[in-house]
Structure 1
Amino acid sequence: MSDVNPLLSSLAEIPRFHAARRPKAVAISHEGRNITYGKLQDASSRVANGLRAAGIGQGDRIGVLDKNSDCFFEIWLGAAKVNAVIVPINARLAGPEIEYVINDAEIKVLFIGELFVDVIQKAGPGLKTVERVITTDNSYRQWRDKQTDDDPAVEAHADDVCLQLYTSGTTGHPKGVQLTNRNILGSLPQTLKSWGGWSSSDIALVAMPLFHIAGCGTGLICLLGGLRFVLIRDFVPAQVIKTIQTERITVTFLVPAMILALLSEPLIGKANLSCVRRIVYGASPIPLDLLKRAVTTFKDAGFIQIYGLTETTGGITVLSIDDHDRADSQLLRSCGKPIDGVDIRIVDAAGNALPVGRVGEIVCRTVKNMKGYWRRDKDTAQALRNGWFSTGDAGYLDQSGYLFIHDRVKDMIVSGGENIYPAEVESVLFGQPDVADVAVIGVPDPKWGEAVKAIVIRRNGSTVDAETIIAYARERLAGYKLPKSVEFVDVLPRNPTGKLLKRELREQYWRGYERRVN
C-alpha cells in the first residue's frame, strides 16, 4: 500500500505519481507490448496535447469503441489531463445502439478499432457531433507521436466528471452514468485493501471488457496501486489459462460466467495455478456449486465476492476470504458487508428503513455514488435522494450486517455479468410485424446465470416462429441481449392499468429456487 497516494484528486495524477517514483516499472502488458509508468506518463501527455489541438477541453466527451487495447488507458489518462470525459462504448452493441450512445453523449473525437470502421461509416451523417475519428492501430500511434510529451497540467477538480459509462435504461434507451474523480479515487485505497491487499508486487489479469466498470475500474485500480497488469483483448478460456501460467498472474477479477468457462476448459486439469493468490468475483450472483468447484480448482487462491453497480463505481460490499473459509453455505449466499465508507440500508416503498431480516430495496450512501445520469435530471432525482442511491435490487441485512440479495425491484436481467433491461428488448421485438404483444423476462441458465426469454402473442393469422423473431432482434440488438428462447401464448397477465405482471410470468421458471436471481 506504500505505492498508493491517497491524496490524488484527479486521474491525471496517477501516471505523474508513479512516473516520478518508478518510471521503469511496467504498468501494462498487452499482446507483446510493455508500457512502463514512465511511458504511460509521456503517452498520455501526447494524447492530451493531441486532444487540445483538436479543440477538446473541459467537460468535452471523447469516445472509445474497440475491444480491449492498451491504448485505452493512454487515451483515458490523456483525456483526464485536459479535464475531458471518456465514454467507453460497448463493443457488443448493434449499429443503431452505438449510434444512439455516440449522439447522446455528444462525442466530439471518436477512437475506434478496425473492426468498427464499417459500423461508423454506415452511421455517417447520423453522427451529429463527431468531428474526428481516429482508428486505434498505427493511425492512432502516428497521431499520438506527432504531439509533444509536455504535460499540459490542466487543472481538474475532484468533482469533475472523468468517465461516462452507459447502462441499459428501463425506458428502452441506455443512460449515461457520470462518474467523477472523487467517485473513482475516493475509495480506491479501501478497495485495494478489501480486495485482499493488491499491491505493486502483484501481477494482475484484466479480462473484463474495458467498456464495463469491472474492466476499466480494475485496470485503474491496478494503476493506482502501481501494479503491472496483463490486459487480454478477448476472453478465450484456453488462452487465459496459459496466460495465468506464463505471466505468473497473482490477482484477477472475474465474473461467474468466466469462472465457469475456465473450469470447463480441458486444459484446467493440468494447469499450474499456484501463482494465483486472489480471485475477486462479482457483477452477477454465483451458483454455490460453481463457487465450491472454483475454490477446489484454484486451491491456493483466496476468493472475494463483491456487489455493486455502475452507478456506485463498482463494488460497495465485500464477502472476504475469511468469510469464504468459514464453509458456511448460508453465508456464501451473501454479498458480504459494506466496504469502508459505504452505508447500506433496506427501505420500503416509502423510503422507510426496515428491520433486520426484512426484504426491501437496497439503498446506499457513499462517495462512490455517481454524480448523476447525463442530461436526465428526472432519472437522477429518482435514483439519488438525500445522498442515498436506490439500487433497484431487493434484499435484506442479517443480524451481523451481511447483505443478501433476494429479488430485483426492477426487471433487470443479469446474464454473464451484463445488465439487460427487458424494456429495451421488448421495444425492439414490438417492431416485428408479426408480434402483437411481448414480455421479456430472465429465466435460470446454468452457464450465464440468467437467459433472456421472450413471451410473445402473435398477430391474428400469423404463424411466425421463434427463429424468425430472434433473427429480427439480431439485426437490432447486441448478441448478449438476444432472446435465447421464445414462447408463444394467447394472453399476457396485466394489472388494471395495463402493466405487465412479470412476477407471474417468472414464477413457473423460478419455482424451487431460493433466490430469484441465479
Structure 2
Amino acid sequence: MVTDVIDAVADFAIDRQAIWDVLIEPQTYPRLFPGIGQCEPLDTVDAHPTLNMRVGGNGVETRVVRVQLHITRPGEGFELPLPRTRQLRDGAAARRHRAHPHIRHLLQGRPVHPLLTRLPNSAVVAWTLDGLRRVADLIQGAPTALIVNAEDSRMKLGAGVVRQMVSSGVVRTYRPDVGLRQIGGLAKWGFSLGGGYAAAAAHSPQRAAVVDDRYSSTFDQLHARSNALAGAFTALGFGPGTSVGLLCRNHTGMVECMVAAGKSGADAVLLNTGLPACQIEEIVQRHRLAAVFADSEFEPLLHHLPAGVARFTSDDAPPDPGRTTIEDLIAMRQDPPRKTPRPGRLVVLTSGTSGTPKGARRPHPKGFGTVAALLSRIPFGTNETMFIPAPLFHTWGLGALQMSTAVRATVLLGDHFDAEDCLRRIAEHKVTALVVVPIMVNRILDLPSHVRDRYDLSSLRIVASCGAPLDGATVLRFLETFGEILYNVYGSTEVSWASIADSADLRVSPTTAGRPPLGTKLAVLGPDRRPVPVGATGRIFVGNHMLFDGYTDATPPDEADGMLDTGDIGYLDASGKLFVAGRDDEMIISGGENVFPRAVEEALSHLPQVSEVAVVGVPDHEFGQRLAAFVVRRPGSGLDSDMVRNYIRHRVSRFSVPRDVTFLEALLRNQTGKILKRTLIAPA
C-alpha cells in the first residue's frame, strides 16, 4: 500500500532547462504519463494556472482532478497541488549539462485516485520513472512513435484473425455442407460484396439481408437478384474493363447494383449525391463511364451527360415511361456471368472538401483479415441488426455494408437522415448497431431529452462513428446520455482504417482517435520520414492490407516503409493512443508559430452557447496568417465575439486566438457531414 511520501530519482545527460520546459508544460502529462487522459486549462481568478486532469483508464473509473501549477523556484522546482486535500509535488535539482529530476509525491488527505491507495510504492515510482524516460526521449528525439499490431508477424496476425473469426461466430457452423457452400461462394466471387452475400445466402438464406423504406430482401433473394442483374450487365456489355456510375441514396437498389457490378467484373464509381451537375459530368468523362444508374430525383443532374452514356433508374420511379429500371434488367432473367478474372472494383470519391473529388480504387478484402481487424476493436457479432444511415457512397458506410455480410447482419437503410426518425427505427427494429458520421451524433444529441425518452433504445450496444472528428464535448455528452456504446473510427478513403477508440478510451481521453486494429501499422513521422518521439507531433502514416489501389486521376500520397501518408498531423501518447491535431493543409504559420484550427474548435465546442464551429486560416498583414472562427450559436444565446476571444485566450496559445469571429445561421456541409471550410475563407 502506498505511503504518504514517495521519492523517484532519475539521472539524464540532458540540459536542465530543456527538462524544465517540458515538465512545466501541462500537455506533457497526458502525452507522456499513462492514466492521465486529458489536461484542460480553466479560466479562474486564481494567481496560479488551474487545470482539470482526467485520470483513469485500464478498467479504472475515470475521475476529473483539479490541480494548480505552482512554480516554487523558477528553473528548479514546481508543485502541482490539489487544493486543500492532496498534492503532487515535483522538484528538479541540476548541474550544467546534466539533469537529476527528483520527483516527490506527497499525498495529503484523499489521494488523486482510489487506486493509488492500493498500489505499492514501487508501482508509483515505476510509473514516474517511465514518464521521465519518455520526457528524455522527447528531448533527445528518440524514434518511438511507432505501433505495430501484428502487421509485421504473419504468425501472430494469422492467430489473431482465427481467434476473431471463431469468437465472433463468423466461420462457425455445425453443418459441413453449409460450410462448403459458403466457401464456394467466396471461391467464385472472392472477398467482395458479391462473395459476402453468396456466403451469407449459403449459411442463412431466409434471414433478412437488407430492409429499406420500400422492400425487404433475404440473403437468398438478394443473391439471386444480383445474379440476374449481373447477367443483364454482361448482356449490355458492362463487364471487365468497363465502369458504371451509381448516383443513389441508401436503398436496396444501390446495394444490388454494387453487387451486380462486382459479379460482372465492371468497376462501380460511387457518385456523391451532393455533387453539382458540372462535377458529375466531369467525373463521368474522366472515368469514361459506360452507364449511370441514378435515383429519379437526380435526373436533373444528368441532362448534360454525353449521348453515349446509357442511363438507368435505380429506384422504382423512372423519370419517363421509356427509362429502363433495375427491375426491368432483373426481369430479363439473364444467366449470371461465369467467374471473372477479378471481381469489379468499387471506386470511392474523396470528400472534395478542399477541391475536386478524386477517384480512389478500393481493394477487395484479402481474406478474413479485414473483418478480423474491425472485430478486434468493435464487438460486432453475428446476426446483428445494423442501421446504416451513413452514406453508402462514403468509405465508412461502404465498409460497414461489407462488414455486415461477414457477420450476416440485417441491414436497415434509409433515404434521408432525421434524428428522431433514427431513434424510431432503432426502437421499432431493435437495432443493435448504428453506423453514423459525426454530424448525425450531434443531431441526435440536439434532440430534447423528452423526445429521446419516447424511444426504447435498450437494444443498441454499438454506435460507430467515422468520417470526421468527434469533438470531446460531444463524446462526453454522448457517453453520459447513452452509456458506454460509442466507438470512434479514424481512417480515410486511402488507408481504410487507422485506429479505433472504444468507449473506455474515450471516457479518459475524449479527443483520442484510438488504437490501431489487428493487422495495422501506425507511425508518426518527422520530415526525415523517421518516427518522432512519443508525445511529439508529426505526420501520421498508416499501413494495413486494405490500403487503396491508387487514385484513378491523381498522384498517390507519399509512402514510407509500406505506410501511406494520411495528410494528417498528430501524435501518439504513452499508452499507445493516437491523437489527430488536424489536416496538414489546414495548419497555418502565425508569427512564426505553427497553429492548428482544431485545437480552437475543440475548446469552443465545450461552450454551452455554441452549436457548431469551424476555424480556418486567413491572410494577415502583420503575422502572415491568423485564425478566423465561424460560430453557430444555440437559440437564445447571448454569445458575442469578445466572449469567444476571452474564452479562447485562457485555453490556447496567443497565436491561436481568432481575431475574426463571425456568427452564422448554419455551416455548409457535404453529404457526409464534413464542413466545407473552403466556402468560409472568402467571406472572412
Normalised TM-score (structure 1): 0.76
SS in 2 for 1:19: helix
Structure 2: runs of 5 or more not aligned: 1-167, 172-181, 318-323, 589-596, 631-643, 657-673, 676-684
Match of 2:494 among 289, 311, 320: 311
Larger Rg over CA atoms: 2
Match of 2:474 among 290, 293, 318: 290
Change (3 A) 1:211 1:345: same
Contact 1:346 1:361 in 2 (8 A): yes
Matched, 1:103 2:285: yes
Change (3 A) 1:30 1:344: same
Distance 2:585 2:368 in 1: 29
Change (3 A) 1:52 1:493: farther
Change (3 A) 1:24 1:161: closer
Change (3 A) 1:184 1:58: farther
Contact 1:257 1:449 in 2 (8 A): no
1:84-142 deviation line (CA, Å, top 9, x unaligned): 21111111111112222222222111101111111101x133x7x62344343254243
* Percent of aligned positions that are identical: 24
1:436-486 deviation line (CA, Å, top 9, x unaligned): xxxxx998485886548696xxxxxxxxxxxxxxxxxxxxxxxxxxxxxxx
Distance 2:413 2:352 in 1: 29
Match of 1:177 among 357, 360, 369: 360
Matched, 1:136 2:315: yes
1:389-428 to structure 2, matched below 5 A, reads 389-411=564-586
> How far 1:494 sits from its partner (Å)?
10
Distance 1:192 1:205 in 2: 17
> How far 1:16 sits from its partner (Å)?
1.4
Normalised TM-score (structure 2): 0.59
Query: How many residues are matched?
Result: 436
Contact 1:18 1:37 in 2 (8 A): yes
Distance 1:169 1:279 in 2: 26
Matched, 1:190 2:373: yes
The residue aligned with 1:348 is 526
The residue aligned with 2:119 is none
1:52-67 to structure 2, matched below 5 A, reads 52-67=234-249
> How far 1:171 sits from its partner (Å)?
7.8
SS in 1 for 2:290: strand
Contact 2:244 2:269 in 1 (8 A): yes
Change (3 A) 1:207 1:13: same
Matched, 1:372 2:589: no
Distance 2:408 2:275 in 1: 33
> How far 1:211 sits from its partner (Å)?
1.4
AA aligned opposite 1:114: S
Matched, 1:91 2:91: no
> How far 1:291 sits from its partner (Å)?
1.6
The residue aligned with 2:305 is 124
Match of 2:350 among 144, 167, 175: 167
Match of 1:338 among 516, 531, 542: 516
Match of 1:206 among 388, 400, 409: 388
Contact 1:184 1:368 in 2 (8 A): no
Change (3 A) 1:391 1:77: same
1:424-439 to structure 2, matched below 5 A, reads none
Match of 2:227 among 30, 39, 45: 45
Structure 1: runs of 5 or more not aligned: 414-440, 456-490, 496-500
> How far 1:177 sits from its partner (Å)?
0.7
The residue aligned with 1:151 is 336
The residue aligned with 2:49 is none
Match of 1:276 among 457, 460, 482: 460
Change (3 A) 1:201 1:12: closer
Match of 2:200 among 18, 23, 28: 18
1:341-360 deviation line (CA, Å, top 9, x unaligned): 11011111231221111100
Distance 1:272 1:399 in 2: 39
Distance 2:373 2:516 in 1: 11
AA aligned opposite 2:552: W
AA aligned opposite 1:79: A
